[in-house]
Amino acid sequence: MSNLTIAHALIIPMVESRQTIDGYVRVREGRIAEVGAGSPPGFEPGEEIVDAAGRVLMPGLINAHTHLYQVLLRAVWEDLELMPWLKRIYGTAQVLRPEHFYAGTQLGCVEAIRSGVTTVCEHNFLNPSPECAFETVRAMQNSSLRSVFARTIMDTGEIVPDCTKETLAQAFRRIEEILAAHPNRAKLTFMTGPNTPPINTTTALLQEVRRFADDKTIGISAHVAESRSVVECVRQHHGKNGVVEFLRQFGIPARNSIFAHSVHVSKDEVSILKETGTSVSHNPVSNMMLGDGVAPVVEMLRQGVNVALGTDGAASNHSQDLFDTMKAASLLQKVHHQDAGVIKPYDVLRMATIGGAKALGLSSVCGTIEVGKRADLILVDIDTIHNQPVNDIFSQIVHCAKASDVQTVIVDGEVLMKDRALAHLDEKRVVAEAKIAHRDLMERVASLSF
């Protein structure tokens, strides 16, 4: 891990609202050691110096909810609503092999790095064999991204194939095995959770999973109220008005919980999210693609709920690009409320950085540029046609900048991409392996009937 100084940057620290600094950041032993205005007073012998003139230096983006292997399933099932789409996604468990997870996750991680993501939360829910989870984690670790692996559980549900339904005892044992196999967790943390309650989880699971998570001191990740049909299920079968209200009796909403989507939640349920300290991963591109609806993000922000941003899997987003997602998050609320000022670019940037860090229990580690935090940083080229001239850098990062403007990506002080060249991974090999896995997976999928 080299010591480095990034000089002459336009720094967006994401600490105080709309603050920028023309200055430098020093990184020592993977940690942010100094943030200063102007030129650095001097350099140490042997340190790496990055001239960041014409670049924005900001915290790396945090993708708080995705399913990385799904890059192999981009644009396979189009024009379907959530339930018929899910039937196909779940059904694929019958043919998914560990090597598909490895190759897909690897490709997804490269796409993440190349679009300025430094932390990714993989919400894992298909486990036809224990090796599928192990191979996913192995690919995430090889990418050197900061990784959160949320190993969730399904124990019931008509559309869930038997091969990926688990008894609680089985699921807990497998999660314990994966925790035990990864004692060194400098850049890797774990979560668990019910995948999509209540359509694929029993109440017994919901009762036990909170105890299990607390026992292992890990957080909970769940798909919550993504479509109206899930809310209907709660009303018909459980006599509650909404999914958040339903989950509250099991202690699932909590400070270490992240609820992906939360599209169909009432004002009262937003209050439950606030009271319990639950975070939301807002996934606007995926919600639009599946026709789910519009999450009440403005109400969440108004009540002080912590909101993060996620791409969701490429099967319902097509990409892993958080720049796309930031712009979509901004525009969707404006059109939904028919109010151009209803959400500010800085709020969206917060969601993609410190909001994500808080949601994943990493707020003391990353999400801002502050002395003492780990150096998870990106440099964005703003000397490009579509970014010039600069009038409002916050609006322009959200609405003008593109993933391809990200020049340099640093995680934990380690440079993963420099001048758009990957430092460790062989991009051509990753793409070749993904093509092989994709061909094999598609042949197997062709044998399934949905």
Q: Which residues bind Zn ion (CB under 5 A)?
A: 312
Rounded-to-integer distance, Cα 248 and Cα 222, Å = 13
User: Sign of dihedral through CA atoms 296, 302, 306, 309?
Assistant: positive
Residue at token pair 């712009």: 327
Q: Which is nearer to Zn ion, 143 or 317 (CB)?
A: 317
Q: How far is the CB of 123 from Zn ion (least distance, A)?
A: 5
Q: Which is nearer to Zn ion, 312 or 347 (CB)?
A: 312
Q: How far is the CB of 316 from Zn ion (least distance, A)?
A: 7
CB 44 within 8 A of CB 16: no
Q: Which is nearer to Zn ion, 292 or 312 (CB)?
A: 312
Q: Which is nearer to Zn ion, 27 or 273 (CB)?
A: 273
Q: How far is the CB of 292 from Zn ion (least distance, A)?
A: 11
Helix (H, G, I), strand (E, B) or coil at 36: strand
Q: Which residue type does 168 have?
A: L
Q: Which is nearer to Zn ion, 55 or 261 (CB)?
A: 261
CB 3 within 8 A of CB 27: yes
Q: How far is the CB of 223 from Zn ion (least distance, A)?
A: 5
Q: Which is nearer to Zn ion, 315 or 362 (CB)?
A: 315
Q: How far is the CB of 155 from Zn ion (least distance, A)?
A: 18
CB atoms within 10 A of CB 336: 16
Torsion of CA 275, 278, 282, 283, to 10 degrees: -150
Torsion of CA 420, 426, 430, 435, to 10 degrees: 100
Q: How far is the CB of 321 from Zn ion (least distance, A)?
A: 16
Q: Which is nearer to Zn ion, 288 or 423 (CB)?
A: 288
Q: Which is nearer to Zn ion, 155 or 312 (CB)?
A: 312
Rounded-to-integer distance, Cα 118 and Cα 430, Å = 18
DSSP assignment letter at 354? I
Q: Which residue type does 369 have?
A: I
CB 412 within 8 A of CB 31: no
Rounded-to-integer distance, Cα 158 and Cα 277, Å = 32
CB 351 within 8 A of CB 308: yes
Task: Find the residue with minimal CB distance to Zn ion.
Answer: 312
Q: Which residue type does 97 have?
A: R
Q: How far is the CB of 136 from Zn ion (least distance, A)?
A: 14
* 218 phi, psi to nearest 5 deg: -125, 160
Q: Which is nearer to Zn ion, 82 or 422 (CB)?
A: 82
Rounded-to-integer distance, Cα 130 and Cα 117, Å = 27
Q: How far is the CB of 396 from Zn ion (least distance, A)?
A: 29
Q: How far is the CB of 304 from Zn ion (least distance, A)?
A: 25
DSSP assignment letter at 404? G
